[in-house]
Amino acid sequence: MKTALLPPELLRRLEQIQLLAARRAKSTARGERRSRARGVSVEFADYRNYVVGDDLRHLDWNLFGRLDRLFLKLYEEERELPVRIFLDASESMNFGTPRKFDFARQVAAAMGYVALCGFDRVSFHVFPDPQAQDSQALIAYNQQMAVRGALRSVRGKKSAMQFFTNITALTSGGAADFNAALKRGALEARQTGVAVVLSDFLDPNGYEAGLTALVGRGFQVHAVQLLAPEELEPSAFGDLRLIDAETGAQQEVTFGKYRLKAYQQSVASFIQRLREYCQPRGIQFFSVSSATDLSDLLLKQLKESEVWS
Amino acid sequence: MNFLAPLGFAFAAALPVVVVFYLLKRKRVVRLVPSTLLWQRFLAESQASAPFQRLRHNWLLLLQLLLLSLVVLALARPYFTGQASTAALQVVVLDNSASMQTTDESPSRFEKARAEALQLVEGLNTRNGQQMILLVAGAGAEVKQSATSDKASLRRALQTASVTDTPSRLVEALRVAESLTQNNPQAEIHLFSDGAVMGLEEFEARDLRLTYHQVGVRAQNAGIVSLDVKASPEDPSKRAIFTSVANFSSTPLESTLELLLDGRLLEAKAATVGPTNTVPVVFVAQQASNGVFTVRLSATDDLSADNQASVVSLLPEPAQVLLVSKGNRFLEKALAASSPHIEVSKAADFADPAAKVDLVVLDDVIPSAWPSGNVLAIHVVQTNWFESPISAQENPAIVDWKNTHPLLRFVSFDSVQVAQSLAVKTPSWAVSLVDSPSSPLVIAGELGRQRIVWIGFDTLQSTWPLRISFPIFIANVVDWLNPASARADQFMVRAGDPFRFPLEGEVANARITSPDLTQTELELGPNTRELVFGGTRRQGTYNVVAGTNAFAFCVNLLDAQESNTQPRSSLNIGRFKEIQQTTSKPANLEYWRWFALAGVAVMMVEWWWFHRRTA
């Protein structure tokens, strides 16, 4: 399989990985995950008394021989694990070298691919919705909406190619409402599962409500914060007028090299606050630069954090 | 601080301009950032640059205002009026006499003068090659520091200068200072003194550029101004101690005067002295052996150096007097009555110089051999006494006599006529006591170790023997020429004067213990016949051990002029010149360089600060 998003070697490695779920799958669709539902599989679960109409194939004849009573053998039903990927496609993700959004797409593609390989359903929630200002943009808007629609529910490894194509076609722009997007995703989900949030978390309204909504809905949340190298170590000094790419708000600062440390401290404390918010809520949190080696993140950091095995 | 160019302050108008610049909006580089969330910490201060809003604390603004202020100050050319001077050479004369110990200035006049002199040192412009010489003047002048621009050396020299108990003899110091400055039109002399100085009238200064820095604020002092010990006139077996207490303040003095013999209190008398008055006090005491009488004044005044004086009292020894005369009844009677401790013998001629006599009176007789001891010579001349030829004069009128000399104590020459006299010129070894218009009539002095009193006329050819002053004079002469009294005299010296003591036999070394118990060892050569000790700067009793001799001598201030601590605001130098006290001397020592330098420093700090912020 070939895609511009992920190198073939990485894809091959990803195929051997399986997403770990802390909880049993609650999906109604059959899959390869253990669930509390009883159904058809090879995993014995329990016995129950035979009632008329039960499938005779599941009677335990050995027991009948010994006890002269009819018992039915019950098996664990294997269900799918819904994996929801929340991808921040706001204007702020367009920054950085390499671009944060590109990196986020790669991570999303990799996680999606792992899920597809494990016969899990992958749902993409790309926010914010694209805006159409004029008729020319309407075409792009329709295309984008189609792509996002196609990514709403993907299952099976055979869909991977189309899955990658659609991810590649995703665009970013506009101002995002992080909390609203996550809340909506949490409400829309009929079955809970794994939720992966890929964002820079730089929303003036905060991130707490959104993450709480996901956790409250019962999702096992993995939060991956993506920051551009320029954000971690800015290279612009002097008297600056900063324009917020998303909100357009202007702020004037005087910044010099001597304040770099203070800036880095404020970035570090922002990340620390986010981490401290996630930890007690059982959210796996990662903060990475968009210049990070992708395979290092996927095969090392996530593996070590037991996101997958 | 004054300003040479006050118009420079017009540039201060630039100060508000700087502030306006800070009020104006700064041009900024526009940057698009993903979010301003991470920049929140740096946003607050940017509010200051919003146009025409409240000005906030900004170090750059402060630094620039400071820089501009320094530049404006430098442009205004500030200078200080102080004690600084532009003279290329400054000679500082620091008075360290006894009166400078007066404590009316805190801690003392000397310390005040030293501090002022230090200020002058600090004002020295060494870069322009200004130099300074430091002289201290007490009983003599001492060059503490020769001409130098090195402030450290000058400071060190000033610190090592100390005050003494000696009277002021500023003339010598001024002469030294004058000789140092006379060929230098760029030189000036700075005198730090309280003006309690005598003898300046003798100093004729032609072109003395003297600045007088006066110290002292008041005269609150009483002191002992004279002290002498003699056999009591009423009871020759007792000793009479004559002293006088002077009060120089404007309030009456109630005090106690104590007499001590070898440190043992003998007697105390109440002394009441009116303002600016002097009161004589006489003690009479028994004395069994030679000792030191000390008189102590228990007065609380500003100067303590003159509140105590000591005198060595030697018991009188009988003196042998040989009168060589053709017959002079007046003289014989006067000699016989002069002292109970003398034996007078008469002779027509003196032929044996080795004869054991203490003093010889030659009355109009030329002896066969000239005596080597003390001599009273009446109308007789040994040719080597005088350098000039000897002539005669008729009816010389007595125009003046020196009644301050001990020989003329209580002696008056009113209505004394002289028929004929020898006419000589006063030799260098003697002083003239009685003068006629053209020649001295009585001279006295010390030639080598021989005391000589010379009377130029035959007393019988004058009306003097008929006057009461004649026996008194003879008594004074006998007392002065008596070797014992001469010896007693040498045991009392004025502070600052050298102590001299003739040595008999060979003495290898001498040890002198000062009143403050410091010891001085003097190495004496094999041929040394006289012990000379110059370290008599503090008053009190000094103990000397020289070979087998052990004795004490006393150093006293006993100087009414020095005890009068009234600060003088002007000094009369010579006959015509008066120097007024100076408190400040305008000097154009400019300080704009320092301000400019500080401005450069501030500019560098400002530059560094700016680049730290923005680089």
Classify the C-alpha dihedral B227-B228-B231-B237 as positive or negative: positive
CA distance B32 to A7: 32
The larger pLDDT score, comparing residue B236 to residue A231, is at A231
Of all residues in chain B, the percent with pLDDT exceeding 70 is 93
Amino acid at A41: S
Specify the amino acid at residue B267.
E
User: Percentage of chain B with pLDDT > 90?
Assistant: 21
Average pLDDT of the residues of chain A: 85
With contact defined as beta carbons under 8 Å apart, do B138 and B197 qualify?
A: no
* Predicted pLDDT of residue A107: 92
Nearest by CB: B39 against A91, A237, A242? A242
Size of interface A-B (CB pairs under 8 A): 107
Distance CA B384, CA B390 (A): 11
Question: Is B129 a residue whose pLDDT tops 60?
Answer: yes
Distance of CA A252 to the CA centre of its chain: 36
Closest chain A C-alpha to B70 CA, distance in angstroms: 27
Least confident of B204-208, B232-236, B405-409, B452-456: B204-208
Give the pLDDT confidence score for residue B506 in this predicted structure: 79
Q: What is the dihedral of CA B500, B501, B506, B510, to 10 degrees?
A: -70
User: Rounded mean pLDDT of B518-544?
Assistant: 86
Dig out the tokens for B163 from the structure: 């005050």
Distances (CA, A) of B525 to B345, B505, B509, B522, B530: 40, 12, 8, 10, 10
Residues of B in contact with A266 (CB under 8 A): 38, 40-41
Statement: residue A104 has pLDDT above 90: yes
Residue B190 bridge partners (DSSP): B92, B211
**Whole-angstrom Cα distance, residue B536 to residue A282?**
99
- Tokens coding B380: 């007789």
Q: pLDDT band at residue B522, thresholds of 50, 70 and 90?
A: confident
End-to-end CA distance of chain A: give it in Å, rounded.
Answer: 22
B108 or B580: which leads in pLDDT:
B108
Q: Is the pLDDT of residue A103 over 50?
A: yes
Chain B nearest-CA distance from A34, in A, is 42
Q: What is the pLDDT of residue B235?
A: 80
Residue B301, number of CB atoms within 10 A of its CB: 23
Q: How is residue B443 written in tokens?
A: 């001279």
Check if the beta carbon of residue B287 is closer than 8 Å to that of residue B313: yes
Structure tokens belonging to residue B295: 């008189």
**Residue B440: predicted pLDDT:** 92
| Closest C-alpha to B565, from B314, B253, B305 | B305
Phi-psi region of B549 (alpha: psi -120 to 50; beta: other; left: phi over 0): beta
The verdict on B57 touching A (C-beta cutoff 8 Å) is no
User: CA-CA distance, A158 to B63, in Å (whole number)?
Assistant: 71
Domains and CATH numbers, chain A: 8-26+81-304 (3.40.50), 30-79 (no CATH)
Determine, for residues A266 and B32 on separate chains, whether the beta-carbon distance falls below 8 Å.
no
Is the per-residue pLDDT at B81 higher than 70? no
What value does the mean pLDDT take over residues B230-255? Answer: 86
* A297 secondary structure, DSSP code: I
pLDDT at residue A24 is higher than 60: no
Q: With contact defined as beta carbons under 8 Å apart, do A188 and A160 qualify?
A: no
Q: Under an 8 A CB cutoff, do B37 and A204 touch? A: yes
Mean pLDDT of chain B: 84
Give the burial string for B132-145 (b: 16+ CB within 10 Å, else e).
bbbbbbbbebbbbb
pLDDT band, residue B86 (cuts 50/70/90): low
Residue A34 scores a pLDDT above 70: no
pLDDT of residue B184: 81
B612 and A270 within 8 Å at the Cβ level: the answer is no
pLDDT of residue A211: 94
Distance between CA atoms of B445 and B443, rounded to whole angstroms? 7
A38 pLDDT above the threshold of 70: no
Helix (H) or strand (E) holding A8: helix A8-15
pLDDT at A12 over 80: yes
Q: What is the DSSP pairing of strand B430-435 with strand B400-401?
A: antiparallel
The answer to whether B539 and B164 are in contact (CB under 8 A) is no
Whether the per-residue pLDDT at A28 is higher than 70: the answer is: no
Tell me the chain A residues in contact with residue B615 when contact means C-beta distances shorter than 8 Å: 237, 256-257
Residue B296 has a pLDDT of: 92
CB contacts, 8 Å: A260 with chain B: none
How would residue B151 be classed by pLDDT, with cut points 50, 70 and 90?
Answer: confident
pLDDT given at position B614: 59
A251 contacts in chain B (CB < 8 Å): 36, 39, 43, 46
Least confident of B54-63, B211-220, B406-415, B427-436: B54-63
pLDDT at position B353, please? 77
Query: Is pTM beyond 0.80 here?
Result: no
Predicted local distance difference test score (pLDDT) of residue A173? 87
| pLDDT value of position A78 | 66
Q: Are A19 and A303 in contact (CB under 8 A)?
A: no
pLDDT digits (tens, 9 = 90+) for B279-298: 888 999 988 888 899 999 98
Q: Domains, chain B, ranges and CATH?
A: 2-76 (no CATH), 84-217+567-583 (3.40.50.410), 319-488 (3.40.50.880), 490-556 (2.60.40.1930)
Report the alpha-carbon distance of residue B217 to residue B296 in Å, rounded: 26
pLDDT in tens, A239-248: 888 888 888 8
Could you say which of B43, B45, B613 has the minimum Cβ distance to residue A258? Answer: B613
Look up residue A109 and give its two tokens.
């593609």
What's the rounded mean pLDDT across residues B292-310?
90
**pLDDT confidence tier of residue B587, bands split at 50, 70 and 90:** low
Taking contacts as CB-CB distances below 8 angstroms, the residues of chain A near B26 are 239
Q: Are strands A83-88 and A121-127 parallel, antiparallel or unpaired?
A: parallel
Distance between CA atoms of residues B138 and B90, nearest Å: 20
Q: Average the pLDDT over B315-330 and give the result.
A: 87
pLDDT in tens, B22-73: 777 667 888 888 888 888 777 655 444 455 555 667 788 888 889 999 999 8
Least confident of B350-354, B366-370, B394-398: B350-354
Q: Which residues pair with B189 in a beta bridge?
A: B91, B210
Any bridge partners for residue B78, and if so which?
A: B3
pLDDT of residue B466: 92
A143, A147, A149, A155 alpha-carbon torsion, rounded to 10°: 160
pLDDT at B38: 83
Lowest mean per-residue pLDDT among A166-170, B43-47, B304-308: B43-47
d(CA A67, CA B22): 99
Measure in Å the smallest separation between the Cα of B35 and chain A Cα atoms. Answer: 5
- Across A114-142, average pLDDT: 86
For residue B260, what pLDDT band results from cuts at 50, 70 and 90?
A: very high
Smallest CA-to-CA distance from A15 within A154, A121, A110 is with A110
pLDDT (0 to 100) of residue B48: 47
Q: What is the pLDDT of residue A197?
A: 94
Please enumerate residues of A whose Cβ is less than 8 A from a Cβ of B.
91-96, 100, 200, 202-204, 228, 231, 236-246, 249, 251-259, 262-263, 266-267, 270
Please tell me the predicted confidence (pLDDT) of residue B259: 93
* ipTM, interface predicted TM-score of the complex: 0.77
What pLDDT score does B464 carry? 93
